[in-house]
Structure 1
């Protein structure tokens, strides 16, 4: 047996037995080499093979660490005390990279200790900006570091954009209906003039969009082209190109919220920003792919908006968390983000495939239509009318199945559509089919 295999087996057994715990720093290459009387290259090969098996990971200039073993699966079943939650948009805590990011935080403090405990700049940690520039290019967003601002989550960027003046001196914010519920709450709480345009699983009426751009005093159009919240569907390429063209023609700024771009599994799905960077403000969240408490978002802005945006941001929080930014820089640079992205995208994709299959199998109702989506984390049910929905959701909640309508995604006074959101972020894959079967059993008992 090769020496490196012996080393691999020994370390793997120690991890399996618990004598090496998740997150624990492993012996150095020099230490193992001396202990086992082998060359350093043998130890390096053993660690490399263990890393391929996702049993260890490395942090440059720090060492090798054991990967945290996945916690025992939650024992759940529909109809018992456990809850099957199809309503939540929050990431699954079981997938959070706690230890990986903890080590990046510790390393960030070691490396940037002289820069993290003083005020930074509204634009963000200077060393992170070029890293993000290269990172965004992977999804066809080509932006120079000076065009990027790091925000405390996408929500802060939305608050700034809706409040700040634009060069066009227009005042109305146009939003899809339905849309992200926190955007609705922001607009109505801040008493910002807003109007809506209907969006369905088939998209929006581009003729109506052009009319609104032409006569509607539109300051900006907030859109979620990819994995729309709450519909789950995405615009096709022609629609995105048409929106970009109309934005240029009528000098309207598009705010493109691409919050789930890292879950894209399609090979060709460019953002609107790729077709009109001069009129598109591109927003990306790192909180969704890592964990909500990270609170890091990225805004890519046309140059004419940069000064005003940074001025408003400086009044909001001076700068976003420098420690989180430094840890994110290390997380991306070390390849941990890429591995994390692949893992979580595959996990959610498998759940979504299971959801689609269950919907196709059990939705035999003439009163309910479901959208089939291939990527992302959610889809929706569209019902014939909404009057019976509250009773349906109440009966399902008694069976520990939680669903939610999209009513909070509509502007006050806009006609609400009878839509129920279905999310897979907090659902066990093995329980999805049983949950959908129960949902449609209750729908058949409902009078629409």
Structure 2
């Protein structure tokens, strides 16, 4: 339970953040605040000193206390956003201490090879560790089939520019798909045909070709980063973190499914009813312009992603919104879906409203 000093501090802080006391405005004197809250002068002095430590106010000798400039208040004045758009993990969920320990250990174990050019395909010991991980998931590659890249985008870019062993030139791409793959193909000026999702496999004949392209584009992926990942996996830290994240994300996506089924129109539940993993999609009626809805949601503090960039220009686009649960907790999900439902209802009502008739 908050004591009186903390309560007073929260009230004054809220007045500043909510704009009741403007940037640059002088705060009431210590004596006036003491009378207002029925407390001692020392209590108000302590409150003002704490707010000054938080960079919300500053003092002028013999003049009193003033609210800081608007620029300094902006981070506090901004409303909390519900982030359904991000695909990057929440920084809070990253095990920084574990990574730091692995980094220090990698500096010791791989000291002699950090500044050399090892196998462009990746450290063999790391690839063998990744094979074990796949085997636990009932996937059975060999270490020869595993390639280490600096990131997924680099791998996709190289694959997009490689000639096919069979000599064919047309590339089939699932629709919708990752926008970064479409961008890589466009950069390489490849002939691309959109198709619906089907299972696929990479032939062994790709391995020598991919080895050569990886070598010419990137002599070696950072030994230090590979070493950190190898230690992270061998120590069991990866398995522990993956288990935690899987449980967290499963819980969130289940909550998203339940809330969506309760609040959204049934015809909008495009992948909601069967979704898993990190993403789900809402199917908008054709009468609702996606850009307008995204903008209205943005104005209400909800960030979503339209899927236009995930379709080829030649492929029929679905009117979809992609929702990510990576940076949303249960409260965010419920509040965000409620706002989406309200804006959908408003947009549908607007689209049904009779347009004004003008006689020429």
| Same fold flag (TM > 0.5) | yes
Q: Which residue of 2 is the match for residue 412 of structure 1?
A: 313
Match of residue 209, structure 2, among 293, 300, 308: 308
Return the TM-score normalized by structure 2.
0.72
Task: Determine the C-alpha separation between the residues in 1 that align with 2:262 and 2:160.
Answer: 43
Task: Determine the C-alpha separation between the residues in 1 that align with 2:191 and 2:288.
Answer: 30
Listed as ranges, the matches of 1:374-413 within 5 Å are 375-385=276-286, 387-413=288-314
Query: How far apart are 1:368 and its partner, in Å?
Result: 6.1
- Cα deviation, 1:155-183, whole Å, max 9, x if unaligned, reads 22222222112220111111111110101
Listed as ranges, the matches of 1:23-62 within 5 Å are none
Higher strand share: 1
Higher helix share: 2
- Cα deviation, 1:287-325, whole Å, max 9, x if unaligned, reads xxxxxxxxxxxxxxx442222111111111101111111
- Cα deviation, 1:23-61, whole Å, max 9, x if unaligned, reads xxxxxxxxxxxxxxxxxxxxxxxxxxxxxxxxxxxxxxx
Equivalent pair of 1:151/1:157 in contact (CA under 8 Å): yes
Listed as ranges, the matches of 1:197-276 within 5 Å are 197-198=195-196, 204=197, 243=199, 254=200
Query: How far apart are 1:374 and its partner, in Å?
Result: 5.1
Q: Which residue of 2 is the match for residue 163 of structure 1?
A: 161
Task: Determine the C-alpha separation between the residues in 2 that align with 1:136 and 1:345.
Answer: 16
Label 1:117 to 1:386 Cα distance change in 2 as closer, same or farther (>3 A).
Answer: farther
Q: Structure 2, unaligned stretches of length 5 or more?
A: 1-76, 352-360
Q: Structure 1, unaligned stretches of length 5 or more?
A: 1-78, 199-203, 205-238, 244-253, 255-279, 282-301
Secondary structure of 2:280's match?
strand
Listed as ranges, the matches of 1:92-111 within 5 Å are 92-111=90-109
Match of residue 350, structure 1, among 251, 255, 259: 251
Task: Determine the C-alpha separation between the residues in 2 that align with 1:386 and 1:122.
Answer: 51
Listed as ranges, the matches of 1:71-110 within 5 Å are 81-110=79-108
1:323 aligns with 2:239: no
- Cα deviation, 1:363-405, whole Å, max 9, x if unaligned, reads 1365665522353011010122164222222111111111121
Q: Which residue of 1 is the match for residue 145 of structure 2?
A: 147
Label 1:365 to 1:147 Cα distance change in 2 as closer, same or farther (>3 A).
Answer: closer
Equivalent pair of 2:161/2:185 in contact (CA under 8 Å): no
- Cα deviation, 1:183-202, whole Å, max 9, x if unaligned, reads 1111112211100014xxxx
Match of residue 195, structure 1, among 193, 197, 206: 193
Secondary structure of 1:99's match?
helix
Equivalent pair of 1:410/1:416 in contact (CA under 8 Å): yes
Secondary structure of 1:446's match?
helix
Label 1:355 to 1:308 Cα distance change in 2 as closer, same or farther (>3 A).
Answer: same
Task: Determine the C-alpha separation between the residues in 1 that align with 2:186 and 2:179.
Answer: 11
Q: Which residue of 1 is the match for residue 25 of structure 2?
A: none
Equivalent pair of 2:84/2:328 in contact (CA under 8 Å): yes
Label 1:370 to 1:327 Cα distance change in 2 as closer, same or farther (>3 A).
Answer: closer
Task: Determine the C-alpha separation between the residues in 2 that align with 1:118 and 1:366.
Answer: 57
- Cα deviation, 1:238-294, whole Å, max 9, x if unaligned, reads x6xxx4xxxxxxxxxx4xxxxxxxxxxxxxxxxxxxxxxxxx23xxxxxxxxxxxxx
Task: Determine the C-alpha separation between the residues in 1 that align with 2:270 and 2:207.
Answer: 43
Task: Determine the C-alpha separation between the residues in 1 that align with 2:183 and 2:78.
Answer: 35
Task: Determine the C-alpha separation between the residues in 1 that align with 2:328 and 2:161.
Answer: 37
Return the TM-score normalized by structure 1.
0.58
Equivalent pair of 1:178/1:410 in contact (CA under 8 Å): yes
Secondary structure of 2:317's match?
coil
